Amino acid sequence: MKKLTVLILLMSLMSTACNKSDGSDDPGTFYDASIYGDYSEDDPVPSEALNFQSNVTFVNFTASQREKMERAIEIIKLVVATDEFKNRILNYTYDGKKQFVDNGGYTNGQIYQLILNAAETLQPSKNNIMDAEVELYYENNNVVGYTYPNTRRIWVNTKYFNSYTAAGVAHNLFHEWLHKLGFTHAVNYTSSRNSSVPYAIGNIVGDIGRNFL
């Protein structure tokens, strides 16, 4: 689709932690990374998924655009808390095996845990918080959004943002944020690119997110 030929999407910053709706997060209880990856479909949704939080800063948003982005972030949290999100990642298959393309050597279960850890390359604490800055801009091209490895900022094109549903925005924001965790994909389209971590899991977020519109 019109995702970027380049990197990915993004957004901006708002200085507020947009999650005060959930006062239940206790940042003291994360799994040790050494045990990640051993989830099975029979396991309950882990507490880090139920308590997944966000801290997003917004740049260059109108009030209504901010409202839409906040709704998209809320959808991401609702999606991450689902059993379906866990199981679709654990069971994701490419080329006959449970794996993602460009998986960095990680198993599906480890990728799930890395998402819950939310240790961005540039903010490497395992804080269980999706940290990002999102900036809106407009350009009349086919780039929905993008980011770069050396910045925590994600840029989102209002050409698409303004007409997307909140689930569509969530899809793209999560794609971009997965880049912040260090996951990459082919720059140019290939059929396997859709099975990369950002594309595949972004799609999963968009799919499940439609249930929360």
| Positions 4 through 43 that interact with Zn ion (CB under 5 A) | 7-8
Cα angle at 110 between 104 and 115, to 5 degrees?
Answer: 90
**Exposed, middle or buried: residue 148 (CB in 10 Å: 0-12, 13-18, 19+)?**
middle
Residue closer to Zn ion (CB basis): 7 or 13: 7
CB of 129 vs Zn ion, minimal distance in Å: 21
Helices 63-80, 166-180: crossing angle, 10 deg rounding:
70
**Residues with Cβ within 8 Å of residue 7, at least 6 apart in sequence:** 146, 147, 148, 176, 179, 187
With CB under 5 A as the rule, give the number of residues binding Zn ion.
Answer: 3
| Cβ nearer to Zn ion, comparing 7 with 129 | 7
Q: How far is the CB of 112 from Zn ion (least distance, A)?
A: 19
Q: Which is nearer to Zn ion, 66 or 159 (CB)?
A: 159
Among the listed ranges 27-35, 54-62, 67-75, 198-206, the one in contact with Zn ion (CB under 5 A) is 198-206
Residue number of the CB atom closest to Zn ion = 8
Q: How far is the CB of 8 from Zn ion (least distance, A)?
A: 3
* Residue 206 engages Zn ion in binding (rule: CB under 5 A): no
Among 109, 168, 198, 209, binds Zn ion (CB under 5 A): 198
Which range, of 19-27, 108-116, 154-162, 192-200, touches Zn ion by CB under 5 A?
192-200
Three-state SS across 48-106? HHHCCEEEEEEECCCHHHHHHHHHHHHHHHHHHCCHHHHHHHHCCEECCEECCECCCCC
| Residues of the shown chain interacting with Zn ion in the complex, contacts defined by CB under 5 A | 7-8, 198
